[in-house]
């Protein structure tokens, strides 16, 4: 009996030693898991506390001005409502930020229904934001988070740019406050009011000679009711004239199985039309004919194709 008890004690001691060794080996992982759980719970509690915690201070018709060391006005922040909290950034409602140049002229304004102001001076706009530049250009952005810090405006979230006769979706955006240029980053989808859709990457929105342009050097696809157009060197869209130029080698495929190949294709959508035209060598192919020409004009609505200048046709 004594021997049995001794063996039980030895087995128990052995188990304790093994358990201690296991705990020693994995102590960092166990600690990490414990800390992670506590941090997650703390974070969730903090979010709930922000919603429920009363503000420390509320100011109606709030305005703050920031000056340089030479007492030159840099920018102003105005809001209908200002709310400060103990452990959270300031909340602003119906906010307007105005930047000034050295001569105290307005260079940029940003307006939004909601924004968050951090102690660092960084401002995070939430939802729809209107950006007006020195030249009077207006950019309307809708995103979860738009960060303004110094001369940079940036978002790494999905962005909707509300353009003329089109809505553009991108994976982010950035711009310099001293420029009219807007970069829409990543995959870009242009949803035109006409129903046509263009997909490309890294779209630049510029403004020159009174016209707003959308430009990309990436491969682009244009899709309308019965046509799909692929271009290998990008796109240039003039929203005022409603003309889209698809750059490089272009292939047009329609729902009837025929195809057109050309170079630097112009799509004219003015007056509700959809006309494809090119002054570069073009080729039309179907099951029964192969036609080559120097110029091409195709009305996608009436489905009339005109091939001109040194036309050569081969019939099967």
Residue 42's pLDDT is 34
Cβ atoms of 220 and 235 closer than 8 Å: yes
Report percent pLDDT > 70 for the chain. 82
Position with higher pLDDT, 46 vs 171: 171
Give the least confident one: 154-158, 216-220, 221-225, 309-313.
Answer: 309-313
Report percent pLDDT > 90 for the chain. 58
Nearest-angstrom CA–CA distance, 284 and 290: 6
Residue 209's pLDDT is 67
172 pLDDT above the threshold of 90: yes
Kind and range of the H or E element at 169? Answer: strand 166-170
Is 158-316 in the same CATH topology as 53-153?
Answer: yes
194 pLDDT above the threshold of 70: yes
Neighbouring-strand partners of residue 153: 148, 175
57 pLDDT above the threshold of 80: yes
Residue 91's pLDDT is 93
Residue 52's pLDDT is 60
23 pLDDT above the threshold of 90: no
3-state secondary structure at position 129: strand
pLDDT tens profile 106-124: 889 999 999 999 888 889 9
Boundaries of every domain in the chain: 53-153, 158-316
- Mean confidence (pLDDT) of the chain: 83
Give the least confident one: 38-42, 49-53, 172-176.
Answer: 38-42
171 pLDDT above the threshold of 80: yes
Right CATH for 53-153 from 2.40.30.170, 3.40.250.10, 3.30.70.1520, 2.60.450.10: 2.60.450.10
36 pLDDT above the threshold of 80: no
Residue 5's pLDDT is 47
pLDDT tens profile 196-221: 999 999 999 988 666 789 999 999 99
Query: Of 90, 149, 159, 162, nearest to 121 (Cα)?
Result: 149
Position with higher pLDDT, 70 vs 211: 70
CATH C-level class of 158-316: mainly beta
**Predicted TM-score of the model (pTM):** 0.77
Residue 221's pLDDT is 98
Our measurement of the distance from residue 250's CA atom to the centroid of its chain's CA atoms, rounded to an integer in Å, reads 26
């Amino acid at each position: 009996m004594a021997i049995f008890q001794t063996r039980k004690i030895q087995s128990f001691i052995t188990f304790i030693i093994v358990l201690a060794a296991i705990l020693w080996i994995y102590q960092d992982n166990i600690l990490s898991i414990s800390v992670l759980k506590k941090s997650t719970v703390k974070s969730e509690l903090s979010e709930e506390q922000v919603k429920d915690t009363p503000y420390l201070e509320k100011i109606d018709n709030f305005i703050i001005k920031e000056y340089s060391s030479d007492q030159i006005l840099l920018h102003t922040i105005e809001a209908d409502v200002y709310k400060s909290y103990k452990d959270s950034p300031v909340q602003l409602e119906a906010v307007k930020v105005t930047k000034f140049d050295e001569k105290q002229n307005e260079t940029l304004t940003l307006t939004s229904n909601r924004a968050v102001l951090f102690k660092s001076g960084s401002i995070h706009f939430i939802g729809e934001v209107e950006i007006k530049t020195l030249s009077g250009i207006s950019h309307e952005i809708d995103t979860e988070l738009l960060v303004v810090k110094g001369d940079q405006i940036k978002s790494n979230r999905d962005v909707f740019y509300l353009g003329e006769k089109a809505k553009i979706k991108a994976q982010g955006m950035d711009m310099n406050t001293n420029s009219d240029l807007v970069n829409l980053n990543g995959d870009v989808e242009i949803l035109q009011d006409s129903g046509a859709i263009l997909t490309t990457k890294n779209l630049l929105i510029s403004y020159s000679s009174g016209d707003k342009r959308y430009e990309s050097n990436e491969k682009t696809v244009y899709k309308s009711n019965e046509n799909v157009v692929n271009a290998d060197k990008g796109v240039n869209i003039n929203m005022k004239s409603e003309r889209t130029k698809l750059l490089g080698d272009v292939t047009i495929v329609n729902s009837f199985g025929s195809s057109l190949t050309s170079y630097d294709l112009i799509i004219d959508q003015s007056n509700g039309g959809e006309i494809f035209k090119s002054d570069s060598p073009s080729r039309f192919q179907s099951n029964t004919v192969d036609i080559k020409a120097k110029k091409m004009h195709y009305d996608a609505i009436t489905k009339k194709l005109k091939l001109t200048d040194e036309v050569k046709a081969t019939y099967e």
